[in-house]
């Protein structure tokens, strides 16, 4: 009797997950999966709105969700995040309200940046996430400077610096890595290697086989991580963060992921990517990978997914409607947060 093909073995069993992630492992994975579906729905909605002319610009993070969510869940409240283009999700997972982020995308009067910053460059001070710069790599040295400040304040916080594979070619990468290594600072350098620096493939970006190997030149550990595996990503981030918190210095983590979308809504990847790139990248999609694990463990059903998507869709629709009903920043905000209030000098009128 032909019993059919053998089932594919699970990469993690329930006992494995309890040992690796603790007693609350199922809640952690469920939370991560919900954020993945939220992020995917957000990307799809905002790309559609940009194409309709309702949002000016958008840089999707499709395919990178496992890294951003793991960072949001592994960090402590007092840690600081210095993002690249696609780490908006870290701020949301750490507690930045989705509605506030959508106000930012529309650059309306409730945008914390008052419309002064590009979309996907949110300001999220309440969760210690700095607005990114469009200049590649500047956030690396900013994170290192912040970590140097932790040293003087005797603060147990850690700074995370996010950058892409292209960011390893800029001067700030060398300056930041070298300074952090010399002074043994609490920084985790997170290289999200999605194989493309806009249109430049990674093999033309650097001659080393693994970008993580560059850490050795600065006297710090470097590890290559499968960025489509949420569990491995979460564990590696947690270990690097705790090592930095214990005073063991910086770590470089290279998360290998595959860009599943255009660089931004201003980009046409069909002009430079292989014709089969989309299919190749989809094989490394982190969302079905986590979904299959949850299903095999009996923690997910189609009914649960449908209800989850319904709730996410309703939340997004409400946020977009609120943003579109909000007027742009008024003229009275022109100098807000630009000039400090003048203080009278003691002994003068």
Question: Which sequence positions are flagged as catalytic?
Answer: 259, 263, 272
Residue 322 exposed, middle or buried by CB count within 10 Å (0-12, 13-18, 19+): middle
- Separation between Cα atoms, residue 105 and residue 119, nearest integer Å: 5
Instruction: Concatenate the DSSP letters of all residues of 217-243 into one string.
Output: GGTS-EEEEETT-HHHHHHHHHHHHHH
- Separation between Cα atoms, residue 43 and residue 39, nearest integer Å: 6
Contact in structure between 45 and 265 (CB atoms under 8 Å): no
Q: Which helix (H) or strand (E) holds 289?
A: helix 286-296
Contact in structure between 162 and 84 (CB atoms under 8 Å): yes
The position carrying tokens 């603790």 is 22
Q: Where are the beta strands (DSSP E) in 12-84?
A: 80-82
- Separation between Cα atoms, residue 171 and residue 308, nearest integer Å: 44
The position carrying tokens 């350098």 is 189
Three-class secondary structure of residue 196 per DSSP: strand
Q: Which helix (H) or strand (E) holds 199?
A: none
- Separation between Cα atoms, residue 3 and residue 54, nearest integer Å: 55
- Separation between Cα atoms, residue 236 and residue 239, nearest integer Å: 5
């Amino acid at each position: 009797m032909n019993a059919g093909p053998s089932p594919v073995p699970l990469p993690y069993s329930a006992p494995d997950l309890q040992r690796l992630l603790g007693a609350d492992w199922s809640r952690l994975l469920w939370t991560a999966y919900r954020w993945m579906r939220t992020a995917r729905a957000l990307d799809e909605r905002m790309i559609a709105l940009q194409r309709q002319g309702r949002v000016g610009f958008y840089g999707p993070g499709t395919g990178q969700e496992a890294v951003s969510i793991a960072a949001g869940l592994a960090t402590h409240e007092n840690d600081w995040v210095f993002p690249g283009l696609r780490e908006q999700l870290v701020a949301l997972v750490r507690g930045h309200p989705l509605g506030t982020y959508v106000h930012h995308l529309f650059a309306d009067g409730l945008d914390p940046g008052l419309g002064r910053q590009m979309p996907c460059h949110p300001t999220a001070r309440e969760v210690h996430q700095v607005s990114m710069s469009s200049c590649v790599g500047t956030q690396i040295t900013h994170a290192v400077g912040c970590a140097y400040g932790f040293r003087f304040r005797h603060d147990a916080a850690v700074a995370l610096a996010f950058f892409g594979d292209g960011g390893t070619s800029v001067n700030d990468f060398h300056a930041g890595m070298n300074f952090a290594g010399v002074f043994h600072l609490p920084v985790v350098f997170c290289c999200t290697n999605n194989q493309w620096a806009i249109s430049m493939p990674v093999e033309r970006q650097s001659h080393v086989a693994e970008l993580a190997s560059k850490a050795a030149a600065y006297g710090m550990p470097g590890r290559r991580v499968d960025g489509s595996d949420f569990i491995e990503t979460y564990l590696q981030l947690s270990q690097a963060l705790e090592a930095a918190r214990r005073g063991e210095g910086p770590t470089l983590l290279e998360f290998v992921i595959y860009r599943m979308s255009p660089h931004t809504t201003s980009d046409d990847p069909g002009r430079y990517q292989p014709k089969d790139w989309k299919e190749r990248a989809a094989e490394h999609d982190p969302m079905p990978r986590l979904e299959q694990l949850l299903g095999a463990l009996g923690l997910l059903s189609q009914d649960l997914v449908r209800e989850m998507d319904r709730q996410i869709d309703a939340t997004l629709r409400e946020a977009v409607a609120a943003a579109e009903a909000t007027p742009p920043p008024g003229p009275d905000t022109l100098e807000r947060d630009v000039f400090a209030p003048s203080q009278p000098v003691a002994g003068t009128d």
